[in-house]
Chains A and B, each alone.
Chain A
């Protein structure tokens, strides 16, 4: 059974700071890993998808890395802005299935102006 853990559960930083969010998973036999953002009362916005064959993906100020062997992924946010405040979720397909995603409980990020 796949379990996904995200640390820290909550993070508060001043504007402009670079930060790293962590995600770990117990079963390294994954097809890919996806990072999402969720704003309060809203749905999930896909940020980055890393295939199992990739080490990292970049989109703007976001960079996600994947280390399958250690069961870890990080989401790096450069030059954080108040608009980045949200809950960040990582998700991996359930072992043996490329479809069913197992989500972490998320990191609630607050960027202070």
Chain B
């Protein structure tokens, strides 16, 4: 039973380019979350999605960031026109339906903006 799968694990982008991070939740999980860990900072919630729906995006920056979880395929976190401050580890997590369930994290995608 594969865990939460994220790719790419490491991504280097030049300022102004786009970054796309992908996440496949654990089998049977219908809830996906994205968190960001900036250097020397703790993990911060970004967005919570279910299939084809954004449930809570209160942690997403207002511009350049978007997320989706289509009916088919992985969840995508998209960052347009990246800046140096976007350099961070982006973690995806998933859980089963219903509150109170354990949330499982992927290995993360490390974005470096040069």
Q: Which residues of A contact B (CB under 8 A)?
A: 31-32, 34, 36, 41-46, 49, 51, 89, 91, 93-94, 97-106
Contacts and interface: CB of A to CB of B under 8 A. Distances in A.
Nearest to A104: B42
Given A43-B4, A106-B42, 18 more contacts: A32-B100, A34-B102, A41-B110, A43-B107, A44-B91, A89-B43, A93-B99, A98-B99, A99-B48, A99-B56, A100-B48, A100-B56, A100-B58, A100-B59, A101-B35, A101-B45, A103-B44, A104-B42
Contact of B100 (A41, A51, A97, A101): A51
Interface in B34-64: 35, 41-45, 48, 55-56, 58-59
Q: Is the interface of B mostly helix, strand, loop or mixed?
A: strand
Contacts of B43: 44, 89, 91, 101, 103
Interface residues of B, number: 27
Given A43-B91, A51-B100, A99 B55 contact: yes
Nearest to A51: B100
B105 interface: yes
Given A31-B100, A51-B100, A99-B56, A94 B91 contact: no
A46 B104 contact: yes
Interface of B: 4, 6, 31, 33, 35, 41-45, 48, 55-56, 58-59, 91, 93, 99-100, 102-108, 110
